[in-house]
Amino acid sequence: MKRSNINLLICLDALLTEKSVTRAAERLGMSQPGMSNALARLRELTGDPLLIRAGNGFLMTERAQAIAHKVRSGLELMDEIFADEGPLDLASASGTVTLALADSMGMAYMPALAQVVSRAAPGLTLNARAPDPTHLREWLSEGECDIAIGHFPEPAPELRVMPLLDQPLACITARTPGQKPITLDDYLARPHVVFGSPFSPRSTMELTLTQGLADAGLERRRMVRVSSVMLIPYIVAGSDHLATLPLWMCRHFAGFLPLTVHPVPTKVPSIETVMVWHERTHRIALQGWLRQQVAQIVPGEAALGVD
């Protein structure tokens, strides 16, 4: 294939993924006229419109739908071919790796990971973003992220999974004089602060906890829902609410907020944390090195109060 056609293949993948000339151009760092010219050339080569206007957006033609997977597979094959070329030189390596992880996992892993990368691979940029478990497979396969860290109970079968740690749960309340241990009746009667608002991706930790309680015939009073787990300890410290979080997080925030850590007064599942990636990046040496660094990190090693 001519080099120009390989570049057009990359443009085609962006166009079929974004279904927008503007967004495809932004994704590849191109001008909009340049992407429009690429689309015109692709239409000429394929003999098909590929994208047809519908309202304010575009829809893929049947031909585009039929070739979209082949285009993505072709690019993944090229990634694999060129990723194996030559030994990895960390000192001169450059690029960007995007990790999808919730705030709690960012607090546990990112300080130590940032330090390792800064020392060993200073040309590597790390992007951290909130995960969306519903679209995890698409994100990893389409390059929206390269590595995901979190609680993903049912990852797609084509994804690679490495267990990292189990997080036992505990609960926190505001610290008060003469405070007694939380009983099950207290736990069920008091209002709870939970991670996962209607405006944020679903929390798999909360779903696992809710299901575990439901299996025992129990249900919490979920009175406050937030889109960042980092808000929860501050709300609890200033109210009569309680919250259920990983034990290490409870201890961490109790180190500087007026909080008391209690055992959950009923049996609940621990939160299994895993690292997930796609075959697309499995053989890329730099990605493999970064995954090894994640696996070697003691979670929260660079944060305070982690057991």
Residue 285 or residue 199, greater confidence: 285
pLDDT band at 199 (very low <50, low <70, confident <90, very high): low
Contact assessment for residue 306 and residue 245, using Cβ atoms and an 8 Å cutoff: no
Determine the 3-state secondary structure of 210 from DSSP: helix
Q: How far apart are the first and last CA of the chain?
A: 56
In the numeric block, the tokens 């749960």 are attached to: 169
* pLDDT tens for each residue of 157-174: 888 999 998 889 999 999
**In the structure, what pLDDT confidence band is assigned to residue 184 with cuts at 50, 70 and 90?**
very high
Alpha-carbon distance of 85 to 75, in angstroms, equals 16
pLDDT at 280: 84
Residue 83 in this model has a pLDDT that exceeds 80? no
277 C-beta neighbours (distance < 10 Å), count: 22
Predicted local distance difference test score (pLDDT) of residue 6: 79
Q: Mean per-residue pLDDT for 201-224? A: 87
What is the pLDDT, as a whole number, of residue 250?
Answer: 93
Amino acid at 225: R
User: What secondary structure does DSSP assign to 74-92, as a single string?
Assistant: HHHHHHHHHHTSS---TTT
The chain-wide mean pLDDT, for the chain, equals 88
Which residue, 281, 284, 279, 277, is CA-closest to 86?
284
259 versus 23: the higher-pLDDT residue is 259
Give residue 143's Cα distance to chain centre: 12
The full set of domains in the chain, from first to last, is 3-83 (1.10.10.10), 95-164+273-296 (3.40.190.10), 169-269 (3.40.190.10)
Name residue 174's beta-bridge partners.
259
CA-only gyration radius of the chain, Å = 23
With DSSP H G I counted as helix, E B as strand and the rest as coil, what are the percentages for the chain, rounded to 5?
Answer: 45, 20, 35
* Residue 305: pLDDT band with limits 50, 70, 90: very low
Check residue 301 and give its pLDDT: 52
Q: Give percent of the chain above pLDDT 90.
A: 50
User: What whole-number distance in Å separates Cα of residue 96 and Cα of residue 129?
Assistant: 13
- pLDDT score at 123: 94
Average pLDDT rounded to a whole number, residues 65-83: 81
Spatial distance between the Cα atoms of 137 and 59, rounded to a whole number of angstroms? 22
Sign of CA dihedral 135, 141, 144, 147: positive
Residue 66 structure tokens: 């039929």
In whole angstroms, what is the distance from residue 58 CA to residue 80 CA? Answer: 31
